[in-house]
Homo-oligomer: A and B are copies of this chain.
């Protein structure tokens, strides 16, 4: 049975050889971030992920979270693992230092997060949601909220949730109906039902801090009338101790395709006198605050895609090395071989590997830009970085998660018939990955955000900057005068041209033909992801080629980087022109059918 191994070497490659750590280390507050410290953090995180979280992944899936009389019982071993998580200080990694966080840059915490998700995505969801709630309170909460909640949430003693969805309000939050009535003491009585609340109830901690969207009396219709509230499971006394139970109740949890160990709760607020809630920031600005968090959460779900892909790849690779079946094609010997020798199995494994490494490098590029956008002393650079981050979030989220579903499915395929048997473990990765393209905004929502707010609105300026970066890499590849890099340059160049055509089409047509352009939104997201993934691997290939020339050590690692980039160029980047065609030509037909003609 294959266990998860933290992909430390590739993480170090992205941090060190691709230069992101150097970049982040030049930011104010990050000067102390030596390579030794980073290595130590990644090593320790890897040990915890491998030693504690990974062994609970299968048992957690089988046992699942259980609802008993309004309580949710997490699977065996979950509580102990969470205790260790808190004791290890993992929850506080990227949080602000004011309330006990370690203030590490996103670049590092993103890689650590990848490990949690690679080892056990159902577990990783709990701190992921807590971070979102922390961020909302940090950014928009008043002093009372900060002092009451932040220290405990940052340490991980209490967890947090995000309560957006209602039965009639999924992607469309304008339809939120939960309501909050002001009391004289400044608190609110919150009423309503929320669904799909990840870790909305559990037995890991003494308290759970719900962040809840609701409407105050007289609020405007739609998204401009939604406010954000903190509604703790247990009220907190002035001295920080826990007081009485709030009027929020877990009605049930869902029976889902995957992430069985992560409880997905239906929460009823205010069945009795109303749940006591505290307003975050100002009334009617809740959605705006939620979107701040949502960007972080979307990035994190993209990281889930990376972690799940890595895990599925490792399992498939391990099986392909062990499983002996058939003889090798094109070879005289009739000896039976491990299936990793079969060309199609190699193709599947390399497809998994190449895309996973591309996604990881892309996520770290974005994470480093997040750090710079937050910390850089140069305001103009901060703005540039933020524009890049805003552009890339829907890609990290949408593209990495779509890839993770396909990669996990390929992982099943590598196993043949055994892949369909639950005991093998490959199927769980597919079941778990399948939610990632849906929650925190479906791929369709990400793609609409990408073409509308991120490309059309600034007339393609931000994406133009990325295209320029990629063109420079193409030139560098050609200048290296190496046949393999030249081939990569050809594919990347073709991809970049396809992307340029796509951007020009969106910018010219978005206002006049928004529906037709929107038909191509997801193909555009796939196109952009495909090309920026190629950019990342092309950069990796350039570095690897230099290292191969310069050093005599780790030749296998660097030559694999070159081969992987070449594989991606021919097997993934090659799809780019077709996707541009689909975007540019394919809008009208999808709109031409009457609803009854489907």
Residues of A within 8 A of B (CB): 165, 168, 170-172, 174-175, 196, 222, 254-258, 317, 320-321, 324-330, 334, 336, 338, 340-350, 353, 405, 409, 412-413, 416-417, 419-423, 427, 430-431, 434-435, 437-439, 442-444, 447-448, 487, 513-516, 518-519, 521-523, 556-557, 559-560, 563-564, 566-567, 570-571, 574-579, 581-582, 585-587, 589-598
Contact = CB atoms under 8 A, between A and B. Distances in A.
Given A353-B598, A589-B563, A344 B434 contact: no
A422 B338 CA distance: 37
29 contacts: A170-B417, A222-B334, A256-B420, A257-B412, A258-B420, A321-B595, A321-B598, A329-B448, A342-B518, A343-B515, A343-B519, A344-B447, A347-B519, A347-B522, A409-B434, A412-B438, A413-B437, A413-B442, A417-B438, A419-B438, A430-B434, A563-B589, A564-B593, A566-B589, A567-B590, A570-B581, A570-B585, A571-B586, A576-B578
A33 B62 CA distance: 53
A350 B590 contact: yes
B578 A330 contact: no
A435 to B, nearest CB: 5
A416 B442 contact: yes
B585 A487 contact: yes
* Copies of this chain per assembly: 2
B567 A589 contact: yes
Contacts of A343: 515-516, 518-519, 521, 587, 590-591
Nearest to A417: B196
The interface centre, meaning the residue of A516, A557, A586 with most chain B CB atoms within 10 A of its CB, is A586
A484 B236 CA distance: 67
Contact of A575 (B334, B342, B556, B578): B578
A220 B325 CA distance: 19
B574 A578 contact: yes
A592 B562 CA distance: 10
A37 to B, nearest CB: 30
A47 to B, nearest CB: 23
A444 B586 contact: no
B522 A593 contact: no
Contacts of A559: 597
Nearest to A255: B422
Sorted nearest first, the 8 A-B pairs with minimum C-beta distance are: A570-B586, A343-B518, A344-B444, A567-B589, A172-B326, A330-B515, A560-B597, A257-B427
Nearest to A511: B330
Contacts of A257: 412, 420-422, 427, 430-431
A598 B171 contact: no
B598 A349 contact: yes
B594 A416 contact: no
A32 to B, nearest CB: 35
Contacts of A413: 437-438, 442-444
Nearest to A597: B560
Contact of A563 (B171, B421, B443, B592): B592
A245 to B, nearest CB: 28
Contacts of A350: 589-590, 593, 598
Contacts of A334: 222
B165 A519 contact: no
Contact of A597 (B255, B421, B563, B591): B563
A298 B291 CA distance: 50
Contacts of A222: 334
B345 A444 contact: yes
Contacts of A327: 172
A421 B344 contact: no
Contact of A325 (B175, B336, B349, B514): B175
B515 A329 contact: yes
Contacts of A578: 574-578
Contacts of A342: 444, 518
A439 B560 CA distance: 33
Contacts of A589: 350, 563-564, 566-567, 570-571
A167 to B, nearest CB: 10
A430 to B, nearest CB: 7
Contacts of A448: 329, 344
A317 B598 contact: yes
A348 B523 CA distance: 11
The interface centre, meaning the residue of A423, A566, A574 with most chain B CB atoms within 10 A of its CB, is A574
Contact of A175 (B165, B336, B348, B579): B336
